[in-house]
Structure 1
Amino acid sequence: MRRLEGEFAAELALVRPDLSDRYTAALPGARAAVLGRLWRGLLYEPLPRLTATGPSRVLLADGRELTGPERRPYDLREEPELRLAGRPYRHPAELLAALGLPGSARLVDDLDHSVASMALSRAGASPRPGDTVEDHEQSVVDGHPYHPGCRNRPGVSVAEQLAYMPEHRPTVALDLLALPLRECLVTGPWPASLVDGDRLLLPVHPWQTRHVLPALGLRPHATGVVRARPLMSVRTLAPLDGGPHLKTAFTTRMTSGIRDISPGSVRDCVPLSDLLTTLAAKCGGTLRIARYLAGAAGQVAGRHSADLSCMLREPTAEPGTVLPVAAVTRSMVSDPAAWLAAFARLALTDTLGLLALGVALEAHGQNLLVALGADGLPYRLVYRDLADVRISPARLARHGIEVPPVSPRLLSDDPAVLHAKLFGSLAGTTFGSLIALFGQGDRDAEDRLWEVVAAAARRAFAALPDTPDVRAARGALFGARLMVKAHLVARLDGAPPGDSWTGLPNYLGAHSHA
């Protein structure tokens, strides 16, 4: 047992001794799950001093060889063991440390946290009690299907994970922080119920109250006022009494990003919602945007702070079963080809239409929700969390649409940027994980499912105007390589801020003319 695993076990014995045996039993599987994600990254990311020489072999600059099972980049399976210079390794952090990659100390720590927290997630997860959106949200136990830091939660104790993380199905009681209204940045109509005279009442996550507010010299006006259920993103919660979902600041690193809310995001949220809602209607109306209704940020030392912020998002409400794509399970789907065909038709029609108009969505399994009809097939998609879209001012202008007042970081006319944002998330993560889930390692079945997606893409492109933008998008989606986020590279010391990227073999490319 690694040091951090032991620390988790010791704390669990104090706060939830009934889970201790389940935690210990979950450790080997958690190690294998993270090791599988690490193996994917070692095979397919541009890492220093490593050269992949095939889908099952990596050569180190010092002559050592790392070997394991053949792995396509979209595979989901766990890897119990990899071999470095003939020696077996079963823990991802131990393996990465042994590789000796320059600048990888932070990443080794990430992997330790990811394993320990995943074991805790698996130990504490309970069966789905119902069929609400929140029930499905909380059924996702292992996190991001391809990110080695899928359960990296430094700064969040065992007791806090049990109290706040969605897979443990808690109810979280949010606090209210009273701030001078005149000093707050407010976008959209802030609810009257969250105003007290000349003070704005900002919903605050209790973790934020405990760990961040004291250093800012602040304390809540009221504690435990809003009872809510956490959704997949942890810091977005659905109040038990209904009303807008609350996206709160939770200023620590989870997966690989700090989960605060920048003042820029607060400024952008309503204009972005308006733009995407307008464009979605132009694409046929089968995509619904979960709009931000309002946002607010308070001041620290005279500047609006990402630590004191909250955004209100309209709840997901569609007839039938609604769930994030990441929560889809094999047992829900009686006919994978039919289900995937219906989903791909919606996803590609909607997202390619938006791309042609000028917006690239980050359409991965957490941001994209699917509504299922009585036949179990997708009939509508819902897109949420708008802060990472990319907008092309030139494309909007060509369609007579004014660019909204949003942060410059969201704006790009570079087709490579737009294509990587959309196709890296949609084809690289969403379609890949669904095909791995449905195909279960049967390569012939998986190839047939890729053809289902490709056929939907060909039909979606055929329905769009034959413009240079659309032709370029078709070439990118059906190209030999697909640009996706490089999760390991992004956490190496010296990595540039923002996303890092790598090119993966594109399994849609072989089906472009079928």
Structure 2
Amino acid sequence: MHPRDEVPEQADAYAAAPLLTCLLREAADPTGEPGVHRLRASGVLLRVRGGRRPRDPEVRADGAWQPLTHAELVKIIADELRAATGLSNPELPVEMLDSRDAVAAILAARARATPPDDLYLRSEQSLITGHPCHPAPKARGGGPVTSWLPYAPEAYARFPLTLLGVREDVVVEEGDLTALDALGTAPRGYRLLPAHPWQLDLVSGRPDIRAAFEDGRLLRLGESAGPVVPTAAIRTVYAPDDDLFLKFSLEVRITNDIRRLWRHDLLALRRKDAAAVHAFRASRDRASRGGASRGQGPAAWLSDRGYRTADFAFEELAVLVRDGLRPHVLPGATPLLAAALVEGFEGSPLTATADPAPWWEAYLRQVVPPVLEAFEEHGVVLEAHLQNTLVAVAAGGLPVQALFRDAEGLKLLADVSREAGWERLVYCLVVNNLTEVAALLGEHRPGWDPWPAARAELARHPVPEVPGLLASPTLPGKTNLLLRWTGADGADARYLPLPNPLARR
């Protein structure tokens, strides 16, 4: 079969895996027969194969198991959720189909593109499946492929930024923007405002923005000198020549939210980022005095230094400046996106890991302590899920350092209850991060138990909630399928109990 002919079948498989994970987690019960689940509201029987990534879905009909296409699976899920909730949602099935079609376009584009030589960039651009527990992780707002594919990290995109000049009397900014100003030159009386070309295409027809171009509040100044590389977050790009991350608004629903830089988040940014900077500086200072655990590297926070925008399009044209990698990563180490390690990519150190135990123990030593210390000692709740966690590996492939990012998703115990903050920490660190890494490593050695080492690492830290975590029969699992079906705000996380592998059995 020609590779191009395989794309539809591959796209169905990639898109079905997270969809099935959500369905089986949120709306089904195991029957006791291997791989067979009964949907709670409709009673429909489904059978799947595979372990951590379900595949080959079948439905029981007319006394036999019949294979399901992705479109047929979407219909079964929509019928089940309608029966379970009493609500209709015509948008979510469309998103599921759009996600599958986006995967097909990505696969076709990757077949004719060259992946980055740089291993870090390759890891950021490797996520074909994406969020493993979301029903439509690759949906791109339903726009034509030509509108988004040139900016898709999964298609190994690189592109220049559009440089705008915004008149000084309408500029809104906060923080250290020195690196932003170094990207180009604005005329006298203007400030440089980089724009993501996709976002500019989406909003430039708005009357307020069109009027700003017409009356001179906004100028088009050309393009950035060098290309930027979109990361797994899509709207966050990395400028390798400048060692700089830039995060933009994007008027597109990616997973649960329209990905704007919301005004309330921008206004809280400096306060939250300053708390994270302080927490990691204190940790680094303690490590320099010999207070770090054996083998733990100096964890780093990629600071969101500041933002710039225009007052007439505060959210739409905002750009956020984030630290680059070079000042933070240990000499000789290579940073990699944790989500990419879980999904797999060419050059991943895990492909050569015959014994998972040393790698897992090194990963725990780097990732767990900074998250717990920030929470207990500084009241900072890091959003330490797989897409916000970078792990730097030494030449032999073992983790030697963890780096964390995204002040927008960070929470402070000064603003939320300790109980809510702990629940969020457990979901991000344990459910979204550690259980996924452990499941992947378990495929390397069937029967290996990763959880004694995880229990030991967690128990080392004097956090009052840890004993309860290690004794609890359940963990909080986010219900992304029901959240999207019921139209809840993406920030309004809903959780259901999942079996806790940390609990002694």
Are 1:149 and 1:255, in contact at CA under 8 Å, matched by a contact in 2?
yes
**Structure 1 contact 110–152 (Cα < 8 Å) conserved:** yes
Residue 144 of structure 1: how far off its partner (Å): 1.4
Shift of 1:365: 1.2
Q: 1:307 aligns with which of 316, 320, 340?
A: 316
Letter in 1 for 2:223: G
CA 61–119 in structure 1, closer or farther in 2 if over 3 Å, else same: same
Q: Distance in 2 between matches of 1:180 and 1:157?
A: 33
Structure 1: how far apart are the matches of 2:56 and 2:76?
Answer: 12
SS at match of 1:279: helix
For 2:199, the aligned partner's letter is Q
1:162 to partner: Cα distance: 2.9
| Superposition map of 1:64-83 within 5 A | 64-69=43-48, 75-83=51-59
Q: Tell me how far 1:165 sits from its aligned partner.
A: 0.5
Correspondence for 1:288: 300
Unpaired segments ≥5 residues, structure 2: 214-218, 288-297, 345-349
Counterpart of 1:57 in structure 2 is 37
Q: Which residue of 470, 473, 478 maps to 1:485?
A: 478
Seq. identity, %: 24
Deviation at 1:326, TM superposition (A): 1.1
* Counterpart residue number, 2:141: 154
Task: Identify which of 188, 205, 222 aligns with 1:197.
Answer: 188
CA offset at residue 24 of structure 1? 4.5
Residue 390 in structure 1 maps to residue 393 in structure 2: no
The Cα of 1:246 is off from its aligned counterpart by 1.2
1:23 and 1:120 in contact (8 A); partners too: no
Give aligned pairs, total: 455
Show the counterpart of 2:383.
362
Superposition pairs of residues 90-105 of structure 1, within 5 angstroms: 90-91=69-70, 92-99=73-80, 101=82, 102-105=87-90
Tell me which moved more, 205-214 or 133-142.
Answer: 133-142
1:316 and 1:90, CA in 2 relative to 1: closer, same or farther beyond 3 A? same
Range 157-166 or range 109-118, more displaced: 157-166
Q: CA deviation at 1:499?
A: 3.0
Amino acid at match of 2:258: I
In structure 1, what residue type is equivalent to 2:375?
Answer: L
SS of the residue corresponding to residue 505 of structure 1 reads strand
Cα deviation, 1:161-196, whole Å, max 9, x if unaligned, reads 331111211221111222222322211132344654
Equivalent in the alignment of 1:207:
198
Query: Shift in Å at residue 434 of structure 1?
Result: 1.2
The residue aligned with 2:434 is 431
List aligned pairs for 1:120-159, cutoff 5 A.
Answer: 120-125=105-110, 126=113, 128-159=115-146
Query: Contact 2:455–2:470 (CA<8 Å) still a contact in 1?
Result: no
Deviates more, 1:320-329 or 1:500-509: 500-509
Q: Which amino acid aligns with 1:143?
A: G
| Paired position in structure 1 for 2:362 | 342
- Deviation for aligned residue 1:272: 2.3
1:342/1:378 contact within 8 Å kept: yes
One-letter amino acid of the counterpart of residue 359, structure 1: V
Secondary structure of 1:503's match?
A: strand
- Relative distance call for 1:451 and 1:77 in structure 2 (3 A) is same
Equivalent pair of 1:175/1:205 in contact (CA under 8 Å):
yes
Question: What does residue 23 of structure 2 align with?
Answer: 42
**Which residue does the alignment assign to 1:187?**
174
Q: Which runs of 5+ in 1 are unaligned?
A: 1-19, 394-410, 465-469
Contact kept in structure 2, 1:292 and 1:311, CA below 8 Å: yes
Query: Which shows bigger deviation, 171-180 or 264-273?
Result: 264-273
Structure 1 stretch displaced more, 360-369 or 173-182 = 173-182
Q: Identify if the C-alpha distance between structure 1 residues 344 and 127 changes in structure 2 by more than 3 Å, giving closer, same or farther.
A: farther
In structure 2, give the amino acid aligned to 1:331: T
Other-structure match for 2:216: none
Label 1:248 to 1:496 Cα distance change in 2 as closer, same or farther (>3 A). closer
